[in-house]
Structure 1
Amino acid sequence: MPLPKGGKPSKIVYPPNCKEVSEDIGKDELVRRLKMLARVFQDMGQDENEKYSELALHLATEFFFDHASKDVRLLVACCIADVFRIFAPEAPYRDPDHLKEIFMFLVKQLRGLEDPESPSFKHSQEIFCNLYKLMFSIINEKHSAKVRTFMLDMMVPLITEADTVSQELLDTILINLIEPYKFFNNLLMIGKTSESEVSDHLYELIYELNMISGTMLLAVLPQLEFKLKSSEEIERKNVTRLLAKMFSDPDSELATQHRVLWNCFLGRFNDISTGVRTVCVQYAQRFILHHSDLVKDIIEQLKIRQHDPEETVRMEVVSAVLNAAKKDFKMITDELLAFIKERTLDKKFKIRREALLGLAHLYKTYINQDPDNTAIAKRLAWVKDKVFHAYYQHSPEDRLLVERIFNTCLVPYTLPTSERMKRLHNLYTSLDEHALKAFNELLKYQHGVRVCVLQWIDALEQNLQGCPAPVVAKLIALARQLPEPHKAQEHLKKFNHILREDKRVRHCLKALVSSDCTCRKAEDAVKEILRKVGNPGQQTPFYTAVKSLLERIAPVMIDADAISALVKYNCDVISGLIYVDDGVLAAGEKGLKLLLALSSVFPPCFNRESVFEDLLTFLKNEDEVISDLTLQIFVNTGSNLKKDCPNIYSSLLPVLQTTAKMGNIRQTKHAIKCISIVYKHEKESILQQVFEHVKKSLNPESANFLTSIVSMGHIAQICPGEFSTEMKNVVSKLIVKDLLMQDRTQGVHVHDSWYADHAISEETQAKVLAMKMLVRWLLGLRNNAGNSATSTLRLLYTVIIHEGDLMERGKINKPELARLRLQAGCCMLKLAEEPCFAELITREQFQALALLINDSCYQVRLRFAMKLNKGLLSLRLPLEYMSIFSLAANDPVKERRAQVKQFLYANISKRREYLKQHATAGSKIFSLLPDYMLPYTIHLCLWFVMDPLMSRSEDYNYAFFRRMIEDIKQTKDAQGPEDEEMNKV
């Protein structure tokens, strides 16, 4: 195709300060104008191209290409080369034949390079540079290998056969070795500035050159080692980043070839600069993935850095390991996983959150989605336990995080119901003991928040109807269950205003906490409420607070269908239709424990005849544990059985009566409790039959002797009025005189102070149960009629001071004496929880009871302290009982002293928090404020010196004792004057 003719085209736009170029202009003037145009094009950016397309076409015409002047042709070639750059990737030259002629023209102009002395040599060098710029700008993935080879064949000889390479050409080549606009300099080698544009990007270029040919940099590596030890932080940081990339690249052998440099690099993990340490840790992921031979060295450094004082470094350790695990879990060693495990206990919540979330996502990916991979499943089996262990943290943030992980990763709530319940069953049955307690606590905690929300809605609706109700108090209580309670309180007040104004939002929130809310309805209600309070794409603190509240209360995991599926699955497990690793009975028992935990917080979800039919089948199971757990589920869920499931109601009674008469101790207890709840209107007549039957078995020769004692105690507590006269005779004659005051058997002599439950003789078991029966009888009466409580307390006191041997005949061995005095102490604590009995306990009885915490038997001390702590935490025991903990300072076992100290801290915190939350409790401050424990502690510990000191009331006594206490508080302990923990006030 012939080239376009020259001439004077119309509508050509020229850059500023550039004059028109056309064929009617003289040679010299044309050269001057083209030089100006070439300079402007050279400085022009790509955002200014559209308006000069006509000018570009004008330059690529026959007039300029065939001009007699070499200078004109060279300058036009320079302009066209820049046109390709400016208009990239779409040049204005559309016609393929025209484009070919243009390239031929550009190539011809390179002939000017043959004579370096020629005046046009400089312009030819510009074409040389522009050629390379052009080639680099137009090459792309669509070009075939043949085209790329042609380009290289043209470009490479121009470099290799040249005598010199200009700085501009060097820049043009090196700019394409790095990311766009990253340039080269030689500062590292010669230590002086350069006029090159790459002078600020030394390390990026070194990295790219190393990628092309590592041998090129052999002389540079010693300089890098020197730079690693520079006093300038930014320099150390840049070199560290460079070496980290070079060492960690796949297939890199730099670390093995240059061990000195590698060891010097490892030293930067301990750099004084946080930034340098952070860079080192950030690249640990690449070493883990690409260099198994170097992982040992990296692990040694990460072991130190995971305890770094700077939280950013610890966070990077967690991120590096988790990111590597997501990409290739097989490269993660157990030691690396242990680092993440340890960081779940970090003092900073955001690090704990990162570690827990990362582990949870690994669990979801490799266990939930790939259950057949047993090797990985075994390595990650501990993750679920670790997640629930985090629930022992008391902060709302941690607890909310665990709840979120449970619903999204451990058992995704989006799964179909049957699969979700299967996962839940398998999860629960594989948790360790501490995780199980945390799981049960999670259910109770969420239930408590739901109850609080329901009370808030009720109070709000009462207000709307004109009735006074404590809405603000409910909001304050609810805010304590959310992160940052003070801010959450303000957000809840705002949400409360929305609820007042928007009936639909109020209806959705009420539906969430209603007993018949399904998982599907809960999910829809949450979405609708969140739409009303904000935009998910721009989450405000208010939106986040409401979302956190809804996450806690929304029952997205459990509803009636879910319970039906779970009961059915557990039925198949117990029947042996489903294989489980733990064995049928163990998995079945754990599955029933899960149902029991759910029955305490979701009782309406069990209200289906099919569910109760399966439970009735469990109740008749030969395994006593399965039967007992089922009884407890009926206790929680059977209150409306008569109305909702009459067939089950009638079928259940004979089973309960038989169990109450002839079951084991636990079965009897729960069977009687179940009768009192399910058959609440007929319980007196039903229990009368049971009472008459067990009364006949109340002798040591009966096979159901122990069951009878337990049964009578619970019947007396549930129906004290109906059996008061008969119980008094039974207690005085059969329980006290014929059982507790008699020693029919001679105990086997042993040296141990304690042994297992199964080794206890039946007589001692009977005496232990008899003491419990006395307490239950009194708790049913709730009075001291006939001095029954006084007599019982005196009996229990005698058992304690006689070290378990009530009649002091010496027939009972040491382990069983320990059991008896422990039980006597626990019974006194139980009675002390009732105000009517607490006031009957004398000073001597209180002192004898307190000294059980110093008992010679370790198990007695341990179990008594735990029982005492349980009563105090429930705020049922009077404040003076907290002073008993002070006597544990004499415990010979260090761990026991630490445990009791934790009990004391927990109780002090509990009481102070209770006073904050209950403004009306101020009237009971003397019985609640833990500081008032001090007088009782003095009574227990210093009673033998207080009387002589205080016998005379000199005026100086008060001031003297106050000054002395202040001095003691401020004085360092002589046993450890430098021990901060010991001297902490």
Structure 2
Amino acid sequence: MELDSVQDSQDLSELHKLEFAHSILGKRSALKEQELLPHLKELHQKLKELEQGAVDLESLSTVANDLTSTQILKNSSKMVTAVAACCLADILRLYAPEAPYSNLQLKKIFNFFVSNLSQFGKEDEDLFQYHFYLLESLATVKSFIIISDLDNADEITLPVFDEFFKAGSNPSLPKNVQVCMTDIMTQIIDEVGTSAQEIIEIILDQFVKHEKTPTVPSYLMAAEVCSICAPILQRRVCQYFSDILLSVSNAEGTEELEELRKAHDLIIKVNAVVPDLLLNVLPLVQEEMKLDQANVRQIATETMGKLFMHPESNISEKYPTIWKTWFGRKDDKLVHLRVRWLEMCVDIYKNHAESIPEITECIKLKLSDPDEKVRAIACKIIGEIMAGCDLKHIDKSLLELVDGRTKDKKNSVRVQAMKTMGSIYNEYYASIQENEKMAVQKLGWIPNSLFSRVYTGDASVLMTLQDTLLAYIFPYDEDDQQRTERLVTVVESLEEKQKLAFTAIIRKQQRFNDDLQKYVRMCEDEVSGMTTDHEETSNDEFMKYLAAHFADRPRTFNALRAFLIRKNSRDIKLLKNSIRTDHDYKQLYKSKDKLIANLNEDQAGTVEIFQAIINRACPLIVNKACITHLLKMAKEPKGRRQTALSQKALTAQSILKEISITYPVMYEGCLTEITKGIMNDKDNIAAEEELELLAELSKSNPGHRKYDGNLIKRLRSYVVDGKVSQANLASVILGNMKNADRSMADLVESLSDGLSLKTRNLLSTLTSLSQFALYTPQLLTPYIDLIVKFVEEDLLKTPTKSYTESNPEWVAYDKLPELSKQKITGVRLLVNYLTACRNEMEPEEHIITKTFSILWDLLERTCDGALTDNTNSAETSHLRLGASQAIVKLTHYEKYLNELTVPKFERLSYTLQDTCFYVRLEFAEFLMKGLQTEQIHPRYYSLLFICAHEPEESLLKQIRSFMQKRLSSLEIKQAESTVLDSSLVRLIHLLAHHPDFTITTEDLMVFAQYIRFFLSCVATAENVSFLYHIVQKIKLSKDMVSAELSDNSYVLSDMTSLLIKYKCKESSWPLNAYAGHVTLQSKLYKSLPPGAVQNETMEKSYLPQAFIEKLEEEERRKLGDKRARTSVVGANKRTKV
């Protein structure tokens, strides 16, 4: 016992005592600052020097007690309170782990600390040192742990967090202060265990306040606190979000939804900083994605999407069930949610490679979504995910599905699909141009696919295609050479059908350019005040015609009219200059851009339409500036061995030829270079490209071009001694030159004189004469009798022996024997002569009669006859085809119309049932092209229905598609003969006079197919009553060509009526009485006398009962098959989630 006392005495003697002789309290009132402050500073210095655990605590009791006095804690001097706080912090340090104060005193002391610490950032440098000392001491000693036993400790800790984060809003807050504040806050959370949710709010609020300035100390401290205390805060954060989400998730009001959106935004912000803090929060969001409330479900889905798309996110791996729930929202019943879901897939795809296969398959499915908005956005995001993507990661199959959407029924989808296809091609064009194998294989096909859309014939599709081509396939490029090389690269990649589409676009553009130039002249007349009332009406009609080229006709018409009545001379001139074909590329763009800028100022509503109008007419794809570069590319060496260089040369030649046909004015200034190529041909074996260009240019301006003597001499040598192709082209050039009717007379005479089968270069001679006949027919008039006689009696009567056992029905023209080519060319010569004489010249009647007699006789030359005679079968096919085409062409002119009687017209229809497929194909395509361009009479629509039994499905499909587009949308005009009714009337008349027509059941079933084919192409719910009325009118008429065959027409009339009824039943169309009046073709039918005769005819059924029964049985079977297919489809339908 004594030993312990001695030891304690020794320990006490080793402890340091505070030696402080001053009093810091006044006896009656507080000491003045100048007296008190030195004492406090001295005390602070002495306390600071004392070490914890090595001080006699009894020596501290007086100052410890005095420091809690109101005189100190409530002192008005900031310096006094700052130094006093430091002293109190030292007292707590020296007394640790116990404090020499009551709970009430501790509460006052810590509030005093908080008050001082709130001064950070507001004090001067002298005060800062004491405040930092206080902060550092509290952090190091962990003094705040003491308050864990206090009641309502949150009243102290809450202001601590509040004041620390306020101080942290100052960007210049020192780093060491931040560290200490962060330490204190983490100590409070870890050790004090405060339960105040307000602290969670204060911490999380920093991520909202300083989202745009994440380097601010408050943001950094909040992030650090959350990171260190994540395990403790997870439950509280979950409770915080749970309270918010539950309070507003069942409400649909605007304010509640805004609060919900704010909470989800905060979740996103927290995830970006401390994702671990959301461990228990994300399952709450997952449940929200399953709720029935659409707004809540969408907000939750968007939130998770943003979390998944973060580059450093691993949420999909940590929470696979949440990923699965989110992924299931792709089939949400809300369209806008499916759209938003797809939009979020872009960044997920780019930032998380592991998700690519799953997302890709989903996007493929969404391209077939029932809603157009979803399909459109699916197309859009494919373009976004492939932008900047490595070529090896591009999925060609995905692009092919986008390509399919360019044929979508909805315009919005087509627009986005084409934009995506075009933008991807544009982005990787450099690699394609360099002929990189992977780029060409994956993307080189895009222009080919886009040009295929030309064949839809839909105005909105063509407008979208036009915009896509100019924006992405042929984008703006001031470098003429690069732009020309791109043009060649694109055209070279096209297949033959798509090259025709490219040609069609250029030619449509040229025709619209002509029309728009006429519109410009209208505008100029309007400005000058020269427009009459009649012209105003005519102008409106013309503007309606222009507007018909666009999908939105009313809007286009209004834009054209608004520009017309605007009478702005400056802008009219700009419009004129923006479509001039003799301007170069930069001039066109400069005028166009200036015009659009001007319209934006006072006619903004018309800008989009006028942009489309100008693009339709402006020669931006091919233009004057590219001619020189194309000529250079076309001269690259060409040989038997196909190389990339020689292929580009051939493509350049084809483009040059098209420009010479469509825009010959662009060649002005380049003629010298073209003629130089012809003159440099020393051996008469080259220069065909130049000849071809010059020939086209000559045709564009006949009778006006003059050439020097040397060039004419060279051209004449081609005619006499050149190849057939050279003679042909040279004759075109010479026949169209100025004063050709005089200067070429001797040449034509020498070619015509003494024509015989032994004539040297007979094919070349006939070819040249054929061109002279077309362009200078007056030169051939003196010799035409001899030529006709030679063709008829010598050429066509000379048999062409077949030297092959197979003797095929068709071979290409180039593979025909020389004599066959001579016959074809001889016939063409006669046809060209009549063609050239159609207007001004009057050929002798016997020449017309003889030529048509030859043509009709050629239709009787059959392949069977050739096989029997052992003559060339393919020759007869070419001659039948050529004769058929010539008859159609010539009888389009008024002068020769009498040569096409009704029986002969019906005879012409048999060409479409020729034994040779190529004859049928070529003649059908000839008719379709002529009808589409209105170069032949609409009567020929009826001929095409004779193809109903065409065995080649591809040709039948082509004809059906053409007829559906051309005829089904035609308007029915009251009291007028229309294409629609005349086609049906002519078809029935054709069938009634067909040599195979009988009323046996078998034959009638065959003929029913013609009517079915017609109805499948033409009939709609809108016109079916009209068609039925036409058929009834036929039954009230008699055949004007052969009255004895009237019954055949009545049989076909009854058959058509029955088939129309079946069609209506099958399609659920009403068949109402047609109220209008129609007059049938007078050359075909004449009305029966009214009364008994008509009644008898109408009441009588001309169809055999056996046929009716068989037709009904067939229709029942078809209806049953249709119902069966419908039920299968219905069973396989899946309901969207």
Q: Which amino acid aligns with 2:165?
A: K
- Preserved CA contact (<8 Å) 1:798 1:806: no
Q: Paired residue for 1:504? A: 570
Query: Structure 1 residue aligned with 2:421, among 336, 349, 359?
Result: 359
Is residue 382 from structure 1 mapped to residue 448 from structure 2 by the alignment?
Answer: no
Q: Paired residue for 1:604? A: 665
Q: Paired residue for 2:155? A: 123
- Preserved CA contact (<8 Å) 2:559 2:609: yes
Q: Matched residue of 2:370: which SS?
A: coil
Task: For residues 12-52 of structure 1, give each alpha carbon's deviation from its aligned partner in whole angstroms, at most 9, with x where no partner exists.
Answer: xxxxxxxxxxxxxxx99999xx9xxxxxxxxxxxxxxxxxx
Q: Which amino acid aligns with 1:550?
A: I
Structure 2: distance between partners of 1:863 and 1:592: 26
Q: Which amino acid aligns with 1:137?
A: S
Task: For residues 266-305 of structure 1, give each alpha carbon's deviation from its aligned partner in whole angstroms, at most 9, with x where no partner exists.
Answer: 4433333334433432232234323333322222222211
Query: Structure 1 residue aligned with 2:893, among 834, 837, 860?
Result: 834
Structure 2: distance between partners of 1:295 and 1:847: 63
Query: Structure 1 residue aligned with 2:552, among 467, 474, 484?
Result: 484
Task: For residues 656-693 of structure 1, give each alpha carbon's deviation from its aligned partner in whole angstroms, at most 9, with x where no partner exists.
Answer: 2222334444443332222222x231344315414413
Greater alpha carbon shift after TM alignment, 96-105 vs 825-834:
96-105
Q: Paired residue for 1:523? A: 589
Task: For residues 843-899 of structure 1, give each alpha carbon's deviation from its aligned partner in whole angstroms, at most 9, with x where no partner exists.
Answer: 333222202212232222211100121222232333322111111111123332221
Q: How does 1:21-420 map to 2 (within 5 A)?
A: 61-62=78-79, 65=82, 93=122, 95-99=124-128, 101-102=130-131, 114-116=146-148, 118=150, 121-134=153-166, 137-138=169-170, 152-176=182-206, 185-186=238-239, 193=246, 229-234=290-295, 236-250=297-311, 252=313, 255=316, 262-263=323-324, 265-330=326-391, 331-368=393-430, 372=434, 374=436, 377-378=439-440, 379-420=442-483
Is residue 594 from structure 1 mapped to residue 594 from structure 2 by the alignment?
Answer: no
Q: Paired residue for 2:1101? A: none
- Preserved CA contact (<8 Å) 2:703 2:739: no
Q: CA deviation at 1:936?
A: 0.6
Structure 2: distance between partners of 1:490 and 1:293: 53
Q: Which amino acid aligns with 1:427?
A: V
Q: Paired residue for 1:709? A: 766
Q: CA deviation at 1:204?
A: 5.6
Q: Which amino acid aligns with 2:1118?
A: G
Structure 1: distance between partners of 2:809 and 2:703: 48
Task: For residues 110-143 of structure 1, give each alpha carbon's deviation from its aligned partner in whole angstroms, at most 9, with x where no partner exists.
Answer: 9566234547844321233214533663469x98
Identity of aligned residues (%): 19
Structure 2: distance between partners of 1:308 and 1:175: 41
Q: Which amino acid aligns with 2:922?
A: R
- Preserved CA contact (<8 Å) 1:754 1:859: yes
Q: Which amino acid aligns with 1:934?
A: L
Task: For residues 482-503 of structure 1, give each alpha carbon's deviation from its aligned partner in whole angstroms, at most 9, with x where no partner exists.
Answer: 45221222222221122x2x33
Structure 2: distance between partners of 1:419 and 1:640: 37
Greater alpha carbon shift after TM alignment, 375-384 vs 804-813:
804-813
Q: Matched residue of 2:777: which SS?
A: coil
State TM-score, norm by structure 2.
0.69
Structure 2: distance between partners of 1:941 and 1:977: 27
Q: CA deviation at 1:939?
A: 0.4
Q: Paired residue for 1:775? A: 831
Structure 2: distance between partners of 1:120 and 1:948: 107
Is residue 935 from structure 1 mapped to residue 985 from structure 2 by the alignment?
Answer: yes
In the superposition, relative to structure 1, how do residues 59 and 664 fare at CA in structure 2: closer, same or farther (>3 Å)?
A: farther
Is residue 533 from structure 1 mapped to residue 599 from structure 2 by the alignment?
Answer: yes
Q: Paired residue for 1:472? A: 540
- Preserved CA contact (<8 Å) 2:719 2:726: yes
Q: Which amino acid aligns with 1:941?
A: L
Structure 2: distance between partners of 1:318 and 1:542: 28
Is residue 883 from structure 1 mapped to residue 942 from structure 2 by the alignment?
Answer: yes
Structure 2: distance between partners of 1:862 and 1:384: 27
- Preserved CA contact (<8 Å) 1:188 1:202: yes
Q: CA deviation at 1:589?
A: 2.5
Q: Paired residue for 2:732? A: 673
Q: Paired residue for 2:499? A: 436
Structure 2: distance between partners of 1:264 and 1:148: 41
Greater alpha carbon shift after TM alignment, 655-664 vs 315-324:
655-664
Task: For residues 122-177 of structure 1, give each alpha carbon's deviation from its aligned partner in whole angstroms, at most 9, with x where no partner exists.
Answer: 4321233214533663469x987x88666644543443333344211122233446
- Preserved CA contact (<8 Å) 2:244 2:263: no
The higher radius of gyration belongs to 2
Structure 2: distance between partners of 1:363 and 1:970: 47
Task: For residues 379-424 of structure 1, give each alpha carbon's deviation from its aligned partner in whole angstroms, at most 9, with x where no partner exists.
Answer: 3212233343344454555444444444443344342233333333
Structure 2: distance between partners of 1:215 and 1:496: 67
Q: Paired residue for 1:971? A: 1065
- Preserved CA contact (<8 Å) 2:288 2:296: yes
Q: CA deviation at 1:453?
A: 2.6
Q: Which amino acid aligns with 1:936?
A: R
Is residue 542 from structure 1 mapped to residue 606 from structure 2 by the alignment?
Answer: yes
Q: Which amino acid aligns with 1:507?
A: K
In the superposition, relative to structure 1, how do residues 892 and 426 fare at CA in structure 2: closer, same or farther (>3 Å)?
A: closer
State TM-score, norm by structure 1.
0.79
Q: In angstroms, what is the RMSD of aligned CA positions? A: 4.7
- Preserved CA contact (<8 Å) 1:717 1:780: yes
Q: Which amino acid aligns with 1:503?
A: S
Q: Matched residue of 2:799: which SS?
A: coil
Q: Which amino acid aligns with 1:545?
A: I
Task: For residues 427-476 of structure 1, give each alpha carbon's deviation from its aligned partner in whole angstroms, at most 9, with x where no partner exists.
Answer: 33333333322332332233223322321232344452535344333333
Structure 2: distance between partners of 1:365 and 1:300: 24
Query: Structure 2 residue aligned with 1:682, among 734, 740, 744?
Result: 740
Q: Matched residue of 2:192: which SS?
A: coil
Q: CA deviation at 1:307?
A: 0.7
Q: Paired residue for 1:568? A: 632
Q: Matched residue of 2:330: which SS?
A: helix
In the superposition, relative to structure 1, how do residues 637 and 795 fare at CA in structure 2: closer, same or farther (>3 Å)?
A: closer
Q: Matched residue of 1:293: which SS?
A: helix
Q: Which amino acid aligns with 1:367?
A: Y
Q: CA deviation at 1:214?
A: 6.8
In the superposition, relative to structure 1, how do residues 641 and 364 fare at CA in structure 2: closer, same or farther (>3 Å)?
A: farther
- Preserved CA contact (<8 Å) 1:204 1:242: yes
Structure 1 residue runs of 5 or longer lacking an equivalent are 7-26, 35-57, 85-90, 916-921
Q: Which amino acid aligns with 1:938?
A: I
In the superposition, relative to structure 1, how do residues 570 and 151 fare at CA in structure 2: closer, same or farther (>3 Å)?
A: farther
Task: For residues 192-225 of structure 1, give each alpha carbon's deviation from its aligned partner in whole angstroms, at most 9, with x where no partner exists.
Answer: 9479999876666666666667777777777777
Query: Structure 2 residue aligned with 1:861, among 917, 920, 924?
Result: 920
- Preserved CA contact (<8 Å) 1:854 1:888: yes
In the superposition, relative to structure 1, how do residues 205 and 544 fare at CA in structure 2: closer, same or farther (>3 Å)?
A: closer
Structure 2 residue runs of 5 or longer lacking an equivalent are 1-31, 35-68, 86-104, 213-235, 250-255, 1000-1033, 1067-1114, 1127-1137
Q: Paired residue for 2:805? A: 749
